[in-house]
């Protein structure tokens, strides 16, 4: 119609947190947080960055030079137009483990390794605007399960006066019935990103590059196009990607 008035209500963040133990005389600890919470799994939000319900075990070691996270998220549906969380289960399970090491090889450089597991179950859903969103509105229109494992290495910081931020991810898994291929497919795809910059007085010279593998034949049994789980990239500068 002609009326464009609408409103949405969402409870985005709610959680409880407790410290489980102090594990060194240098304030190293282990804590757990349960409830709906924000979590970004890497420096630039390439694979998973969201506010959703989950349980997260986290802490640090070696005088805070090492940090770790082990998180499980049971995703809620997003409201169609606002993108806010609803109170409806999405039937999607995500497990994330990562480890950060500060001053790795060079003072001021932080390295990270990570593992992501995404289990997106078969489902059938129309959004509030009446559009089919699951299964994918293409090809065979059949509900299908995607199971994917992401292996990642990333880094952020500086080496002397050179600033560096990089990431590499390799995803492996299986799609039970890819909508375009019309059959089960094996997933094998890669992503790489690199940003370098150099500071001179009040000027920063910066260059960025990002690569994601594509799929030259979308109808065979090999899925080689890369995609994150729920990404929110911050890469290349505020006026770029």
Spell out, as residue ranges, where the chain has pLDDT lower than 50: none
pLDDT one-digit tens code per residue, 131-166: 988 888 888 888 999 999 999 999 999 999 899 999
DSSP, res 122:
-
pLDDT of residue 81: 85
Sign of CA dihedral 148, 99, 14, 18: positive
Distances (CA, A) of 16 to 11, 35, 41, 60, 213: 15, 7, 20, 19, 40
pLDDT of residue 60: 95
pLDDT of residue 1: 63
Contact (Cβ atoms closer than 8 angstroms) between residue 135 and residue 141: yes
DSSP, res 210:
E
Task: Spell out the residues 6+ positions from residue 16 whose beta carbon is closer than 8 angstroms to its own.
Answer: 33, 34, 35
The residue behind tokens 């010279």 is: 205
Q: Tell me the whole-structure pTM to 2 decimals.
A: 0.91
């Amino acid at each position: 119609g002609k009326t464009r008035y609408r409103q949405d209500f969402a409870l985005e963040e709610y959680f409880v947190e407790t410290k489980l133990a102090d594990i060194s005389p240098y304030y190293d600890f282990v804590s757990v947080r349960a409830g709906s919470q924000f979590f970004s799994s890497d420096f630039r939000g390439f694979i998973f960055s969201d506010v959703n319900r989950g349980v997260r075990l986290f802490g640090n070691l070696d005088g805070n030079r090492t940090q770790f996270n082990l998180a499980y998220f049971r995703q809620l549906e997003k409201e169609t137009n606002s993108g806010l969380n609803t109170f409806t289960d999405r039937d999607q399970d995500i497990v994330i483990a990562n480890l950060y090491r500060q001053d790795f090889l060079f003072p001021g450089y932080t390295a990270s390794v990570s593992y992501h597991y995404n289990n997106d179950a078969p489902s059938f859903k129309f959004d509030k605007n009446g559009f089919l969103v699951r299964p994918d509105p293409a090809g065979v229109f059949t509900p299908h399960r995607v199971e994917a494992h992401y292996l990642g290495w990333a880094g952020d910081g500086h080496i002397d006066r050179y600033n560096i931020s990089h990431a590499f991810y390799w995803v492996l898994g299986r799609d039970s019935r890819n909508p375009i291929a019309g059959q089960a497919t094996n997933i094998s795809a890669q992503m790489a990103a690199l940003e370098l910059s150099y500071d001179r007085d009040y000027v920063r010279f910066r260059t960025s590059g990002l690569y994601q593998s594509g799929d030259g034949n979308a109808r065979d049994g090999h899925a080689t196009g890369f995609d994150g789980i729920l990404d929110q990239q911050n890469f290349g500068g505020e006026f770029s990607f």
